[in-house]
C-alpha cells in the first residue's frame, strides 16, 4: 500500500485535449453541393484565407462556465437587496442608468444578429464556432441587462423612466445616438458593420470604458449591481475581441482590402469616439457624486484604455501589414476630450434638454465644480455659470432652461453623421447629400457621411456599403411644435397625465415636480430646417456666428 | 398612488417617498400575453424596435437598397401583427444557460461513467460501425440546422421571433458538438474506431445524400421563416425524430449500448420546446384575420417542398435499420409513427401532408 492516496490513479480517464476537441468541432461544416447558401449580407471585402478560432472553446465547457457566471450575478443581486443597497445608492447615478440601460440592450442583441452576417463570409468552419458562442453571449448580455433594468425599476425610489424604457429608446433625442451605434452593427457592408465597427473597434477598444470604467464609478455611488452585471458581461468580450482579430487578420492577407480597412477603421474609431465618449463620459463624470481627486477622470481613463492600450498596441501594429492608420484622428479625439471639453459640452446639452428626456438630471454643485476644475483646468470658466443657472432654473415656475434667453446658451445643430450635436462649435462643417444641406460636428463626420457611406470610395465601387437614412435630425420631427405637446407625444409623461417623467432635480416631492403646464408655451425649432430656409448669405453669417460659440451670462 | 407626502428623501429605496408614479414598477409599454407580464416578456419584448414600435426617426442607417435593419419582407409570410408572438418556452439567457448547462453535465456524466465501466468495449461490433458511420454522419445534419437557424435569427421582425430562433440554433449546435465529442471519446476505448468516418459518409454515402440535400435546401433558403418552418414542422418529425427516437434511442440498448440514448435524448426534449415555439408562431400566422389564407397557402407550399425532400431522406436512411444485429424496431413502424406525428403537427395549422 502506498503512503499517500492518489485518487486520480483510480478515477482518471483518458480524454481528448481542448485543441483536438476544437479541431473536431471545426470539421462539422462542409461546402454544400446540392443547394448553395444565399449570401444575403454582402460585403465589398474579399476573404480567401480561413480565419482561426483563437479561443478554442467548445459548448460543452462554455455553457457551464456561463451558468456559473450567471449564478454569481444573480446571487449578487439578491445579496444587494438583502444588504439594502438602495438605501445608500446615489439617485444621481441611478437616474443616468435610465438612459444607459435604455440604450445598451439593443446594441447587444444587434451584435447577436450580426454574427449571422459574418458567419457565412469566412471560408472554413473554425471561426464559426467562435461566432456561435458570441451570438449566444450577446443574447445573454441583452437579456441580463434588461433584467438589471427591471430590477432597478422594482427597487429604486423613482421607477418612472425605467417603466417606459424600450419605448423611450425609440423616441428620445439622446437615445438616437445609441441607435446610431446599434444599427451600425447590423446594417450595410457585413464586414464594415459586424466586424470592423462592432468587434475590431467597439468591443476591442470601447467596451473598456463602457463595461470596466463605468462599473467602477457605479460602485463609488453605492451601486454594486451594475459592476456585477457588467464585469460579467465584459468577461465575455475577450472571446469577441479574439473573433474580430482573427477575421481582421484574414482580411489583411488580401491587399485589395487595405483601402476599405483604412476607411472602416477610420470611420469606426471616430464614430465610436463621438458616440461612446459622449454617453459614457457623461455618465461617469456627471452621474457621480464621488469627487475624490485621486481617482482617474474619464479623460485619464480614456488615455489608458483607448490611447495606450488600444491605439498603441492594437491599431499601430496594423501598419506593418500595410494599413494606413490615421494617427491624427486619435490625437484629435484626445484633444476633443481634454482641451475642447467634449464630454462637458455633451452633459450640458443633455441638461439643457432635460424636459424632453425620461430621467432626472441634477445640477452640479460647488463640490463638483472644484473636482472638474482640478481634472479639467478651465472647466469653471466655461461651465460654472451654466450649472448655477441650471440649479436656479430647476424650480417650478422658472422658465425652462431650453428656452430661457437669460442663460445665453445657444441650442446646437445636430451632426448628421454621429447624431451628437455640433458641440465644438468652431468645428462645424456643412455639405450636401443628394442636393440637401446637412450639418456635421467635424470634418471627419462629414467624410463619414459623404465619402465613406457611399456607393464608391476613392474611385472603387462599394456596392455593399450602407447609407445614412431616416429622419436623422431628431429636432426636425418636432419642428414648430410646442414642447409640451412634443413631450406628450413622446410619452414622457407620468401616468397622472401631467407630471413629466424627467425632472431637473432629485427632489422626490410632488410639489417640486414639473408638469406639462410648467413647460407649455415654447416652440421647438429644428436648427437644420431653419438653416435650410436661410438665404446663402444669411446661412454663412449664421454659421460664422455659430463657430464663435456663446457665452453663458453670469447667474446671480 | 393614494397619498402625497413631502419627503426630503435620503434613501434611494423604493417606497421611501410617494409622488406620481413612485409605484410604477412594471414595464408599461407593451401588452403582456396574460394578465401580468412574464419575466421572459419583460426582458424580451420590444428590445428590437421598428418604425411601428417605436422608431420615431425610422431606421437611421439603411442598406444600399434603401431598406432598414429589419424589414417585414425577409419572409414571404404576412402578418397584421408581427409583435403578437411570445415563445411558449419563455427562454431568456438565464433559463437558456441553466438548461444547456444541465444537459452538458448530464451528457458528460453519462459518457464518463459509461467509459469507466468499460461500456463502449461491450457494444455490439455492428452497432459500433453504425455509431461511427451513421451517428457520425448525423452530427453534420444537426450542425447544418444549427448554422441555418443562426442565419435565420438575423431576419425576424421582432425580438421574440429572433430570440426563439437563436435558442433553437444554440440547441442544435450544442447537440452537434455533443455527438462529435461523444464519438471521439468512446473512440478512444474502441480499437479501430474512426471518428472521421462520419463526415465521409455524410458527404459521399448514397444513403445519406437525400438527407444532406434536405438540410442544404433548408440552409439555402433566403426566407428565414421557411428555414424555421422547414426545420421544426417538417424535417424534425420526418427525419430527426425518425433517426433519433425511431432508431438510435430504441435500438441502442439491445445492442449493448446504454450511453447513446441519454446523449441523444436531450435533443428530443429540445425539439419539444422548439416545436412548441414554431407552432405557436405559425398558428398566429395562419389564423391572421387579414393574411391567414395567404400564409396557409404559402406554408402548404413549404410543406410540399420540404416533405418531398424529407421523405426522400427518410427512404435513403431505411437500410440502416437492417444493419444492427439486434433489431427491436422496424423502419416501417418508426416511419409510421413519424407520419402520424407530422399529420398531427400539420393538423394544428390546418395543413395537409402531401401523398407520397
**Among B21, B10, B24, residue whose Cα is nearest residue A510:** B21
The residues facing A460 across adjacent strands are A457
Residues 326-355 of B with CB under 8 A from A: none
Q: Which residues of A touch B47 (CB under 8 A)?
A: 105-106, 109, 142, 146, 166
Measure the CA dihedral A87/A92/A94/A95, to 10°: 130
Nearest CB partner across the interface for A143, out of B25, B92, B180: B92
Would an 8 Å CB–CB cutoff place B173 in contact with chain A? yes
Predicted confidence band of residue A10 (pLDDT cuts 50, 70, 90): low
Nearest CB partner across the interface for B219, out of A35, A63, A509: A35
Question: Angle at which helices A59-82 and B159-187 pack, to 10 degrees?
Answer: 130
Residue A195 φ then ψ, to 5°: -110, -60
CA distances (Å), A422 to each of A91, A445, B198, in order?
Answer: 30, 10, 60
Half-sphere exposure of A132 (CA within 13 A, CB side): 33
| Mutate: best of A10, A22, A34, partner B, most B CBs <10 A | A34
C-alpha distance across the termini of chain A, in Å: 91
Question: Angle at which helices A225-252 and A258-272 pack, to 10 degrees?
Answer: 160
Residues 6+ apart with CB under 8 A from A157: A86, A91, A508, B9, B11, B12, B13, B14, B15, B16, B17, B22
Alpha helices in A12-162 (DSSP H): 18-26, 59-82, 85-88, 91-103, 105-119, 126-155
Check: CB of residue A203 under 8 Å from CB of residue A118.
no
Q: pTM surpassing 0.90?
A: yes
Tell me how far the alpha carbon of residue A37 is from its chain's centroid: 33
Neighbours of A395 (CB within 10 A): 13
Sign (positive or negative) of CA dihedral A365, A370, A374, A379: positive
Measure the CA dihedral B321/B326/B328/B334, to 10°: -10
Residues 6+ apart with CB under 8 A from A89: A156, A221, A222, A223, B12, B13
Q: Residue A158 and residue B21: Cα distance in Å, rounded?
A: 7
Residue in chain B lying closest to A511 (CA) = B6
Residues 55-114 of B with CB under 8 A from A: 55-64, 66, 68-69, 92-94, 96-98, 100-101, 103-105, 107-108, 112
Burial of B150-159, coded b for 16+ CB within 10 Å and e otherwise, reads: bbbbbbbbbb
Q: Residue A145 and residue A423: Cα distance in Å, rounded?
A: 30
Burial class of residue A198, CB neighbours in 10 A (0-12, 13-18, 19+): buried
pLDDT in tens, chain B (356 residues): 333 444 445 799 999 999 999 999 999 999 999 999 999 999 999 999 999 999 999 999 999 999 999 999 999 999 999 999 999 999 999 999 999 999 999 999 999 999 999 999 999 999 999 999 999 999 999 999 999 999 999 999 999 999 999 999 999 999 999 999 999 999 999 999 999 999 999 999 999 999 999 999 999 999 999 999 999 999 999 999 999 999 999 999 999 999 999 999 999 999 999 999 999 999 999 999 999 999 999 999 999 999 999 999 999 999 999 999 999 999 999 999 999 999 999 999 999 999 98
Question: Mind listing the pLDDT tens digit for each residue in A359-394?
Answer: 999 999 999 999 999 999 999 999 999 999 999 999
Distance from CA of A217 to the nearest CA of B (A): 17
Amino acid at each position: 500500500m502506498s503512503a499517500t492516496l492518489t485518487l486520480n490513479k483510480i478515477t482518471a480517464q483518458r480524454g481528448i485535449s481542448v485543441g483536438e476537441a476544437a479541431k473536431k468541432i471545426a470539421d462539422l461544416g462542409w461546402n454544400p453541393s446540392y443547394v448553395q447558401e444565399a449570401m444575403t449580407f454582402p460585403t465589398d471585402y474579399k476573404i480567401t484565407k480561413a480565419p482561426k478560432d483563437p479561443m478554442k472553446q467548445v459548448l460543452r465547457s462554455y455553457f457551464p462556465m456561463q451558468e456559473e457566471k450567471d449564478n454569481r450575478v444573480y446571487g449578487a443581486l439578491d445579496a444587494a437587496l438583502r444588504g439594502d443597497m438602495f438605501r445608500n445608492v446615489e439617485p444621481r447615478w441611478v437616474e443616468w442608468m435610465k438612459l444607459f440601460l435604455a440604450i445598451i440592450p439593443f446594441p447587444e442583441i444587434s451584435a447577436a444578429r450580426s454574427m449571422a452576417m459574418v458567419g457565412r463570409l469566412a471560408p472554413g468552419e473554425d471561426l464559426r464556432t467562435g461566432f456561435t458562442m458570441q451570438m449566444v453571449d450577446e443574447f445573454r448580455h441583452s437579456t441580463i441587462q434588461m433584467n438589471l433594468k427591471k430590477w432597478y425599476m422594482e427597487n429604486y425610489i423613482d421607477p418612472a423612466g425605467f417603466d417606459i424604457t424600450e419605448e423611450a429608446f425609440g423616441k428620445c433625442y439622446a437615445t438616437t445616438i445609441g441607435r446610431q451605434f446599434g444599427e451600425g452593427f447590423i446594417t450595410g457592408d457585413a464586414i464594415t458593420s459586424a466586424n470592423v465597427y462592432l468587434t475590431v473597434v467597439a468591443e476591442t477598444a470601447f467596451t473598456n470604458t463602457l463595461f470596466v470604467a463605468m462599473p467602477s464609478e457605479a460602485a463609488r455611488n453605492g451601486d454594486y449591481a451594475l459592476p456585477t452585471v457588467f464585469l460579467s458581461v465584459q468577461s465575455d468580450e475577450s472571446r469577441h475581441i479574439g473573433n474580430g482579430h482573427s477575421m481582421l487578420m484574414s482580411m489583411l492577407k488580401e491587399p485589395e482590402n487595405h483601402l476599405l480597412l483604412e476607411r472602416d477603421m477610420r470611420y469606426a474609431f471616430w464614430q465610436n469616439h463621438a458616440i461612446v465618449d459622449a454617453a459614457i463620459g457623461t455618465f461617469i463624470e456627471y452621474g457621480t457624486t464621488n469627487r475624490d481627486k485621486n481617482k482617474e477622470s474619464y479623460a485619464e481613463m480614456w488615455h489608458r484604455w483607448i490611447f495606450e492600450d488600444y491605439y498603441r498596441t492594437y491599431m499601430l501594429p496594423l501598419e506593418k501589414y500595410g494599413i494606413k492608420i490615421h494617427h491624427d484622428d486619435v490625437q484629435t479625439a484626445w484633444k476633443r476630450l481634454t482641451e475642447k471639453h467634449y464630454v462637458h459640452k455633451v452633459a450640458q446639452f443633455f441638461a439643457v434638454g432635460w424636459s424632453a428626456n425620461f430621467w432626472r438630471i441634477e445640477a452640479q454643485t460647488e463640490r463638483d465644480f472644484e473636482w472638474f476644475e482640478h481634472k479639467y483646468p478651465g472647466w469653471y470658466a466655461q461651465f460654472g455659470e451654466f450649472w448655477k443657472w441650471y440649479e436656479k432654473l430647476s424650480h417650478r415656475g422658472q422658465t425652462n432652461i431650453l428656452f430661457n434667453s437669460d442663460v445665453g446658451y445657444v441650442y446646437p445643430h445636430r451632426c448628421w453623421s454621429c447624431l451628437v450635436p455640433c458641440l465644438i462649435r468652431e468645428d462645424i462643417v456643412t455639405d450636401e447629400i443628394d442636393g440637401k444641406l446637412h450639418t456635421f460636428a467635424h470634418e471627419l463626420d462629414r467624410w463619414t457621411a459623404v465619402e465613406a457611406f457611399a456607393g464608391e470610395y476613392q474611385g472603387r465601387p462599394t456596392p455593399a456599403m450602407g447609407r445614412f437614412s431616416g429622419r436623422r435630425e431628431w429636432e426636425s420631427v418636432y419642428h414648430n411644435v410646442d414642447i409640451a405637446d412634443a413631450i406628450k407625444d413622446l410619452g414622457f409623461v407620468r401616468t397622472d397625465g401631467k407630471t413629466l417623467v424627467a425632472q431637473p432635480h432629485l427632489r422626490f416631492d410632488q410639489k417640486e415636480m414639473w408638469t406639462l403646464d410648467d413647460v407649455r408655451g415654447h416652440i421647438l425649432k429644428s436648427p437644420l430646417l431653419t438653416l435650410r430656409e436661410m438665404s446663402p448669405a444669411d446661412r454663412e453669417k449664421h454659421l460664422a456666428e455659430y463657430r464663435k460659440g456663446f457665452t453663458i451670462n453670469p447667474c446671480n | 398612488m393614494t397619498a402625497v407626502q413631502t419627503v426630503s428623501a435620503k434613501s434611494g429605496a423604493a417606497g421611501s417617498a410617494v409622488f406620481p408614479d413612485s409605484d410604477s414598477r412594471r414595464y408599461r409599454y407593451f401588452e403582456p400575453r396574460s394578465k401580468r407580464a412574464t419575466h421572459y416578456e419583460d426582458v424580451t419584448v420590444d428590445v428590437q424596435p421598428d418604425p411601428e414600435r417605436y422608431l420615431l426617426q425610422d431606421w437611421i442607417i439603411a442598406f444600399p437598397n434603401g431598406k432598414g435593419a429589419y424589414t417585414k419582407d425577409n419572409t414571404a409570410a404576412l402578418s397584421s401583427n408581427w409583435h403578437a408572438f411570445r415563445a411558449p418556452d419563455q427562454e431568456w439567457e438565464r433559463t437558456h444557460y441553466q438548461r444547456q448547462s444541465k444537459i452538458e453535465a448530464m451528457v458528460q456524466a453519462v459518457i464518463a461513467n459509461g467509459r469507466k465501466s468499460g461500456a463502449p468495449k461491450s457494444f455490439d461490433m455492428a452497432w459500433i460501425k453504425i455509431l461511427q458511420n451513421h451517428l457520425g454522419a448525423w452530427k453534420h445534419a444537426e450542425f447544418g440546422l444549427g448554422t441555418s437557424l443562426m442565419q435565420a435569427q438575423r431576419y425576424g421582425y421582432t425580438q421574440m421571433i429572433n430570440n426563439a430562433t437563436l435558442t433553437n440554433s444554440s440547441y442544435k449546435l450544442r447537440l452537434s458538438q455533443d455527438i462529435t465529442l461523444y464519438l471521439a471519446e468512446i473512440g478512444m476505448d474502441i480499437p479501430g474506431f474512426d471518428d472521421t468516418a462520419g463526415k465521409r459518409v455524410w458527404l459521399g454515402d448514397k444513403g445519406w445524400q437525400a438527407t444532406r440535400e434536405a438540410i442544404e435546401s433548408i440552409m439555402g433558403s433566403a426566407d428565414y421563416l421557411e428555414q424555421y418552418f422547414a426545420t421544426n414542422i417538417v424535417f424534425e418529425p420526418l427525419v430527426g425524430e425518425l433517426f433519433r427516437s425511431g432508431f438510435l434511442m430504441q435500438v441502442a440498448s439491445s445492442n449493448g449500448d446504454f450511453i447513446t440514448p441519454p446523449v441523444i435524448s436531450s435533443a428530443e426534449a429540445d425539439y419539444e420546446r422548439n416545436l412548441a415555439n414554431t407552432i405557436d408562431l405559425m398558428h398566429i400566422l395562419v389564423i391572421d384575420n387579414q393574411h391567414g389564407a395567404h400564409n396557409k397557402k404559402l406554408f402548404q407550399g413549404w410543406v410540399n417542398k420540404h416533405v418531398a425532400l424529407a421523405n426522400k431522406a427518410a427512404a435513403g436512411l431505411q437500410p440502416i435499420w437492417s444493419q444492427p444485429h439486434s433489431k427491436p424496431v422496424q423502419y416501417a413502424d418508426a416511419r409510421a409513427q413519424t407520419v402520424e406525428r407530422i399529420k398531427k403537427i400539420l393538423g394544428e395549422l390546418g395543413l395537409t401532408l402531401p401523398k407520397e
